[in-house]
């Protein structure tokens, strides 16, 4: 019987050692070194208004000739104006499209997704009263 007790204790120590090795491997493989310059800049959502922030994003990416400008109004949306963007946002189409969510036509059409910070700013604008 006494021969079994040291074997059990040894097995317990081996299990503990194995667990510690796994934990240390997890820490060393999970950690990476990044310089501060490599970190993304925080997204500034102060003073997000249509005229200062959202309008310029729309003008650069959405309200282009042949798309959602005042002349073309693709799919019935004129995103070059505050009222047009507000209407699209109220209908829930704007965020779904720029986030590329299922069930929405991904916008900008034929291009990549908007910058994540631009999406955050548009979402902030919508969720905080859509200030002109």
Q: What is the pLDDT of residues 7-60, one digit of tens each?
A: 444 455 666 666 666 565 555 555 555 555 555 668 999 999 999 999 999 999
The pair of three-digit structure tokens given for residue 21, joined into one six-digit string: 């090795």
Please name which of 80, 55, 60 lies closest in space to residue 70, comparing C-alpha atoms: 80
Q: How many CB atoms lie within 10 A of CB 57?
A: 22
Q: Would you say 65 and 72 are in contact if contact means Cβ atoms under 8 Å apart?
A: yes
Domain residue ranges in the chain:
50-127
CA distance 86 to 11: 68
Q: In which band, very low, low, confident or very high, does the pLDDT at 110 lie, cut at 50, 70 and 90? A: confident
**Contact partners, residue 113, CB within 8 Å, separation at least 6:** 98, 99, 100, 106, 119
Q: Would you say 35 and 117 are in contact if contact means Cβ atoms under 8 Å apart?
A: no
How much is the mean pLDDT over the chain? 82
Q: Exposure string (b/e) for 72-99, b if CB count within 10 Å is 16 or more?
A: eebeebbbbebebbbbbbeeebbbbbbb
Of 2-6, 58-62, 72-76, least confident by mean pLDDT is 2-6
């Amino acid at each position: 019987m006494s021969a079994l007790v040291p074997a059990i204790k040894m097995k317990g120590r081996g299990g503990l050692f194995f667990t510690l090795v796994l934990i240390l491997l997890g820490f060393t493989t999970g950690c990476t070194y990044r310089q501060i310059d490599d970190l993304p800049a925080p997204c500034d959502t102060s003073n997000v208004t249509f005229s200062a922030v959202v309008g310029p994003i729309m003008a650069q990416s959405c309200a282009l000739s042949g798309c959602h400008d005042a002349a073309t109004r693709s799919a019935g949306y004129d995103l070059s104006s505050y009222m047009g963007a507000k209407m699209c946002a109220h209908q829930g189409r704007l965020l779904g499209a720029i986030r590329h969510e299922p069930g929405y036509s991904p916008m900008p059409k034929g291009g990549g997704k908007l910058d994540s910070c631009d999406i955050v700013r548009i979402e902030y604008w919508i969720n905080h009263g859509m200030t002109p």
